Amino acid sequence: MTGPDRPDPLATISAVRTAVLEHDGHDPLDEAAALALKHHGTEGAAVAVAEDGFALVRGGELTLAVAPQARRRGLARRLLAEVGPAWRAWSHGDHPGAAALAATTGWRRTRDLWVMRRPTSLPLPALVVPDGVTVRGYDGEAEQVLAVNAAAFAHHPEQGSLDATGLAERMAEPWWDPAGLLLAVDDDTGDVLAFHWTKRHDADLGEVYVVAVDPAAQGRGLGRVVTLAGLHHLADAGVAEVLLYVESDNTAAVRLYSSLGFAHAARDTHVQYSR
């Protein structure tokens, strides 16, 4: 969907992405889409670009963005029509323009993903680790981490699909720190029972990136244990704020995070549309 009279897709995506992030405060590309572009470009994706916007479909998922100065001119609708079929799309920040486009093009709101935040100035409970378990940093247990992740997120459409390639790509990112991937390990067997993968975006911002508990180890409070271990790790690293992403209807997780001082603001909502 490009040609001699079309802008360069990767350059256009980069420019529009920067403009949208600066104006809206939300990146129009989620991590998976950004990593796919970084490592594979537009290979295997359908792309439509204009001077001030782009639409990209990979694996049935649509990413569409229009630069602020070009909005309200029908460009998003034209890009959507040109790029071809897609079945899922995210609106980062629950943008009203995305809601209006969805309402007139056959898309329906199907998921709300919340961002919750807590300042590290709030005191944390002490970390109490159950007998027979050690919490420590990552030391090469990639296969076990992937196995626990797959079991814990078997029904999660994004996180559950993490494979060895995806893990390696994330571990190649500048923010990767093996000490920030906290594992709860059985002292007798050496098996990884649960983990909390933390992420430092910069000196001031950290993230509860992934928390996973092997279903066979549930009921032992390990989710709270590894969550607290990661929060202590990030606080000790000096970040001012920690964020996390959680499904709005995951009552148990929202309750846990709320009990640890996390709060959600309405603008911190990402919406998935489907058709």
Asked whether residue 254 falls in the same domain as residue 158, the answer is yes
44 and 73 co-located in one domain:
yes
Residues 51 and 164 in one domain: no
Q: What is the tens place of the pLDDT at every residue in 108-153?
A: 999 999 999 999 999 999 999 999 999 999 999 999 999 999 999 9
Tell whether 273 is covered by a domain: no
Instruction: Residue 145: give the domain boundaries.
Output: 117-266
Residue 1 located in a structural domain? no
How many distinct structural domains can be found in the chain?
Answer: 2
Residues 52 and 92 in one domain: yes
Of 106, 140, 166, at which residue does a domain stop? 106
Last residue of a domain, one of 58, 85, 106: 106
Mean pLDDT within 33-48: 94
Kindly state whether residue 271 falls inside one of the protein's structural domains. Answer: no
pTM: 0.85
CB 112 within 8 A of CB 246: no
Give residue 2's pLDDT band: very low, low, confident or very high (50, 70, 90). very low
Question: Residues 187-235: pLDDT tens digits?
Answer: 999 999 999 999 999 999 999 999 999 999 999 999 999 999 999 999 9
Confidence tier at 267 by pLDDT (50, 70, 90): confident
Residue 274 resides in a domain: no
Within-domain flag for 4: no
* Confidence at 4, pLDDT banded by 50, 70, 90: low
Residue where a domain terminates, one of 57, 87, 106? 106
- Percent of the chain at pLDDT > 70 equals 98
Shared domain for 126 and 49, answered yes or no, is: no
Q: Is residue 234, in this structure, part of any structural domain at all? A: yes
Residues 138 and 217 in one domain: yes
Q: Is residue 111 part of a domain?
A: no
90 and 125 in a single domain? The answer is: no
**Same-domain check for residues 164 and 246:** yes
Looking at the fold, whether 121 and 245 belong to one and the same domain comes out as yes
Domain assignment present for 132 = yes
